Amino acid sequence: MARKTESATEKNTTRKSPAKTASKSSSSRTKAARPSQDDAVASSGAALAVTSSADADFEAMVDHNYLSQDEFDAVQEALQRTLATTIALYLKFKKFHWDIRGRFFRELHLAYDEMAEEVFASIDVLAERLVMLGGSPVAAPADIERYSTVRVPTETIRDAREQLRQLVEDHNRITHAMRDDSKTVDDANDPATADIFNGLLHQHDEHRWMLQAILDDDRLD
């Protein structure tokens, strides 16, 4: 009888408490779920490696142009100035489109909008060319005003003759600058950008011709 009692006691002593077993199991799961300091360091290192790789890929993407630094500086200056001027010209066309009054309202209202759409399309062409070469296009109003050769009036101009006079002068100035810029970028070993300038030069020559033809109409007086 004594032996049976001792055996039962030993079994009770060696049997693990359910609460202790659950606590130990929970602790094991917590340890398994919680990453060690070494794991965190390894994860951080992997993230840095991915970031460094992405930075290298980005640098490779923007640093692929074939221009020397001096050539790039010359091309970038011409592109930034032309981009700012193009944005300002688009805004000026739209302002005159909204402000025009009088006998030639419909004709000029529509003509300004058509020209503005053509000018607007060239904005993206110029900006993306800058990015292709590793540059950053101007966009802030202050930068556009500083680089642009076209002034967008803050006052309201409703007279058709005055609007046309300003636009013809703007286009004369733009086409003169583009001829110089086309030669500059061609000399800088960038025929692709020169082609863009030549295409835009044709567009602005055509706009200037059309605007001058309307301005020469005696009925404007």
- Residues 5-14 pLDDT 10s: 444 444 444 4
User: Is residue 82 predicted with pLDDT exceeding 70?
Assistant: yes
The answer as to whether 181 is a domain residue is: yes
Domain total of the chain: 2
pLDDT exceeding 90 applies to what percent of the chain?
Answer: 65
Looking at the fold, whether 56 and 75 belong to one and the same domain comes out as: no
| Average pLDDT, rounded, for the chain | 81
Residue 200 lies in a domain: yes
Q: How many CB atoms lie within 10 A of CB 208?
A: 18
- pLDDT for 2: 45
- Note whether 150 and 82 are within 8 A (CB): no
Same domain as 86, residue 33 = no
Same structural domain, 119 and 212: yes
Residue 17 has pLDDT above 70, yes or no: no
For residue 63, give the DSSP letter: S
Which letter, b or e, does each residue of 154-176 get, where b requires 16 or more Cβ atoms within 10 Å of its Cβ? Answer: eeeeeebeebbebbbebbeebbe
Higher per-residue pLDDT: 34 or 151: 151
**pLDDT given for residue 220 in this prediction:** 76
Q: Is residue 177 part of a domain?
A: yes
CATH of the domain at 157: 1.20.1260.10
Between 18-22, 66-70, 74-78, the lowest mean confidence (pLDDT) is in 18-22
Q: Is residue 6 part of a domain?
A: no
For residues 25 and 87, state if they share a domain. Answer: no
Q: Per the domain annotation, does 105 fall within a domain? A: yes
**Claim to verify: residue 24 and residue 76 sit in the same structural domain:** no
Which range marks the domain in which residue 180 is found? 69-220
Report whether pLDDT(114) > 70: yes
- Distance (Å, whole) CA 200 – CA 118: 10
Q: Which helix (H) or strand (E) holds 174?
A: helix 160-187
Residues 73 and 147 occupy one common structural domain? yes
Rounded average pLDDT over 104-113: 95
- How many CA atoms lie within 13 Å of 182's alpha carbon, on the beta-carbon side? 14
- The interaxial angle of helices 105-132 and 160-187, nearest 10 deg, is 20
Q: Are residues 179 and 76 in the same domain?
A: yes
Query: Structure pTM?
Result: 0.71
Is 50 exceeded by the pLDDT of residue 51?
A: no
Domain shared by 163 and 191, yes or no: yes
Q: Are residues 55 and 93 in the same domain?
A: no
- Judged against a pLDDT cut of 90, whether residue 121 lies above it is answered with yes
Do 162 and 56 share a structural domain? no
- DSSP designation for 140: S
Which has more pLDDT, 52 or 144?
144
140 and 44 in a common domain = no
CB 187 within 8 A of CB 71: no
What is the tally of helices (H) and strands (E) in the chain? 8, 0
Do 37 and 128 lie in one domain? The reply is no
- Residue of 152, 23, 177 whose CA lies nearest to 98: 152
Q: Which residue has the higher pLDDT, 37 or 181?
A: 181
pLDDT tens digits for 166-204?
999 999 999 999 999 999 999 999 999 999 999 999 999
Residue 213 pLDDT class (50, 70, 90 cuts): very high
Longest dimension (CA), the chain: 134
**pLDDT at position 124 over 50:** yes
Read off the pLDDT of each residue in 19-42 and give the average, rounded to a whole number: 49
With 90 as the cut, is the pLDDT of residue 126 above it?
yes
